[in-house]
Structure 1
């Protein structure tokens, strides 16, 4: 336990333990693997997983109440300083800072639930390089993600989206702020988007799960979680040709710039109408 936790906490190599704990390199690696397997075995069912149908329904209801129908959370990256980075690797792990860093990409919801984490790319990468290698849209592209259907301003959509900052690409699955908005509608949208996107910034600040917030956020709306179908998505066809064509179609839909622009315009109008009603 001591060897595994020290390696994870300080980022030291396995052979470092030989001098400190009198444990050989091979034994340290074996201990680390057993420790990680135990963590996954104990916590994977509740924490280390993608959202199921019940989670999706909850996130969509919360997004609706915040003025963003179809929103599943906020996405961003941070650079995690690697104090004990080996000297021979420092070149590839140094980016816009002078210290070696490892990049962490997360998707966080309003209650600081980090349900997606992609960690390990060198600090010389940026957010665009990370998203190209990330698995955040793998289940969606493979047809295994729970369905997400909603309507905004009279237009129907079938994919959820994440709030993101300006560096992210203009994909159908991202909603970004508007830089230098010129009218009151767009100024209101930019303010609302940037305020809601602070969820991921708070998550970076605490990096912990807050279960109690899930059941108090909706207040008097009395959303009944037990009525939601908790079954997973329908099984994917095993026809290789069909699967390949469907995968390509879904992959292109995720990166559709036209849907991105339309979705942003619809949200501008939707939030402005909510502002007028209030």
Structure 2
């Protein structure tokens, strides 16, 4: 094209040619050279794949969703990580909340993917964590559409279910948690707390210094609180991997509701002493706070050794929750390949929401259904009095209470062992 331009320019300077026609042709050539290629539309040389969307959807329905399906509900639960009834309810609510999941026609009038088809693709991506184009052969959805569907899916999951399944426990739920943990030897315990790293393989090289920590690879950190039933009641995700558990705790809102007086009171007695703050079991890296109970690293006697054994056994609740979360949603087990931390956060939170939903659906619960008006407020409510909040954090971080509580728990658990 450049040689044509120079040829036309030289011809335009020749007096033997028609000046007007040559000037028009030269101007057109210059415009073609200078004009940038517009984005969108058809790409020259790009192959268009005529995927049989209707056939793939028909096959998907015949495999799982018709009366006499090819695969039974056990197959569905193993492959989609949830019961068929829960998946159908999820599809219905997501289609009502986001028009993207409704079936629409494209510009030539062809029917697009059904809501069930789109949700099945998103669940498969979360459950298996493979490359996006791996679903093209049997679900007939291109790579870019798979990634868009995944992002829309996790965003809508958070929008529809986040308020219900990512919240602190209510008074009735907390009562149930306290009863279960008291029977295990830890009255006043609300759960166990720890952190998990998710490797980020697509982390920009310029950010490696911030996201690379003791793991040796760029990671993002999830802080979570879990109970014995593996329900995750608190999730704080997104801190760079160069931080440790203490840095994450200092920035986490896990105790903000307690400091602002937005949680139900916890009153319990251990070894004849009264306490007014619930606590979490933690590992040795955490600080000595009144709301954290750690193990004894070098037990000097049988009492301390028995307490350390029981504390470390119950603290594994959160470790088990991490293991189940990563085993159920393999996308969290493999290195993350998306580019934006916000997308990774949406995926993590959506997986936790689905994890909690499946636990409640499969194990059942004797707790009453929580209406919207009964849910607690946001995890980080506005602070009306800074001085009162600072005083509350002084109580939360009290070391003397931490040592006294652990001492009383040692005696309490030893007494429980003797009585048994």
Q: 1:192 to 1:252 in 2, by over 3 A?
A: same
TM-score normalized with structure 2 length = 0.54
Q: How many residues get paired? A: 249
Query: Is 1:76 paired with 2:194?
Result: yes
1:123-272 matched pairs, under 5 angstroms: 123-207=241-325, 208-209=355-356, 210-211=359-360, 212-213=362-363, 215=365, 225=367, 240=384, 243-272=385-414
Determine which structure has greater relative contact order: mean sequence separation of CA pairs < 8 Å that are 6+ residues apart, divided by chain length: 1
Structural RMSD (CA) = 3.1
- 1:266 CA drift (Å): 0.5
Deviation per residue, 1:180-209 (Å, 9 max, x gap): 101000000000000001111100101233
Corresponding residue number in structure 2 for 1:21: 144
Q: Distance in 2 between matches of 1:266 and 1:81?
A: 40
Structure label with greater radius of gyration: 2
Instruction: Indicate the larger mover: 260-269 or 78-87.
Output: 78-87
**Structure 2: runs of 5+ lacking an equivalent:** 1-99, 101-117, 133-141, 326-354
Q: Secondary structure at the match of 1:275?
A: helix
Q: Secondary structure at the match of 1:104?
A: strand
- The answer to which structure has the higher strand fraction is 1
Runs of 4+ aligned structure 1 residues displaced above 6 Å come to none
Q: Distance in 2 between matches of 1:21 and 1:200?
A: 35
Q: Distance in 1 between matches of 2:289 and 2:383?
A: 28
Q: Distance in 1 between matches of 2:375 and 2:410?
A: 33
Corresponding residue number in structure 1 for 2:164: 46
Q: Secondary structure at the match of 1:46?
A: helix
Query: Is 1:59 paired with 2:177?
Result: yes
**Structure 1: runs of 5+ lacking an equivalent:** 13-18, 216-223
Residue pair 1:54, 1:225 contacting (<8 A) in 2 also: yes
Q: Distance in 2 between matches of 1:231 and 1:48?
A: 14
Q: 1:232 to 1:100 in 2, by over 3 A?
A: closer
Residue pair 1:146, 1:233 contacting (<8 A) in 2 also: no
Q: Distance in 1 between matches of 2:241 and 2:383?
A: 40
Q: Secondary structure at the match of 2:165?
A: coil
- 1:142 CA drift (Å): 0.7
Corresponding residue number in structure 2 for 1:15: none
Corresponding residue number in structure 1 for 2:344: none
1:97-136 matched pairs, under 5 angstroms: 97-136=215-254
